Amino acid sequence: MADNAATCTCEAVPESELLSRLEGVIAEYREKPGALIPVLQIAQGIFGYLPEVALKRIAVGLDKPFSEVAGVVSFYSFFSTQPRGRHLVRVCLGTACYVRGGKQVLDGLKAKLGCDVGQTTADRNFTLEVARCFGACGLAPAMMIDDDVHQRVKPARLQAILDRYAAEPGDVQPIPGGE
C-alpha cells in the first residue's frame, strides 16, 4: 500500500489519469471486507487529498452511501478534503508544549507561512496543523514537519527550519549548528 500512497503528483498528472488509478484500486479492494479506509488512504495518496469526485467514485465503487464515505473522511483527522502542501507542519499544543511556548511557535508559523491552522500556503509547499501530543514532552515545545520532529523550537529559529523544506522535494537540508 505504501507504493500507492506516494507523494501527490496531481499538478503533473491529469485528473482523468488519477481517476483511472483510483478505479484500479477500487476494483482491487471491492470484494474485501473493511476496504473503505484503505481505499481512502490510497486515494489520498493518489490525489494528495480527497476531492469530492474521488469520494463519489469510491462510494459507487464500494457500493456504500456517499454519506458513509464522507462521514469516515470527516471523522478521521488523517483525511483531508482540501489540497495539502508538500510538507505537513504540525505544532504540538499539548500541556508541556503549550506551557513552554508552543502557542508562540504556532503564532510565528502563522505569520511566516501566511496561513492559519488547517490551511495551505499559496505555493502549496506547507500545510499547517496542530496536534495535542507527540509524546516528546521533555523536548517541548515540539513541532513536526512531515516525519521529522523538531525539539525545543524557538520562534526565532522558525525561518531556518522552514528553509530546509522550501527546497525541492527530497532535498531537505541540515540546519548549520543544529536547531
pLDDT of residue 12: 66
Which pLDDT does position 179 carry in this prediction? Answer: 46
Q: Which of 47, 10, 9, 7 is nearest to 25 (CA)?
A: 47
Q: Give the pLDDT confidence of 115-155 residue by residue, as tens digits.
A: 999 899 988 899 999 998 988 899 999 999 998 999 999 99
Determine the topology of domain 87-165 in CATH.
Glutaredoxin (3.40.30)
Residue whose C-alpha is closest to residue 166's, from 106, 126, 110: 126
pLDDT (0 to 100) of residue 91: 97
- DSSP β-bridge partners for residue 13: none
Query: Which cell numbers in the block locate residue 42?
Result: 490510497
* Grid coordinates of 38: 484503505
From 158, 155, 175, select the one nearest 100 (Cα to Cα): 155
For the chain, list residues with pLDDT below 70.
Answer: 1-12, 167-179
pLDDT of residue 77: 76
Q: What is the pTM of this model?
A: 0.65
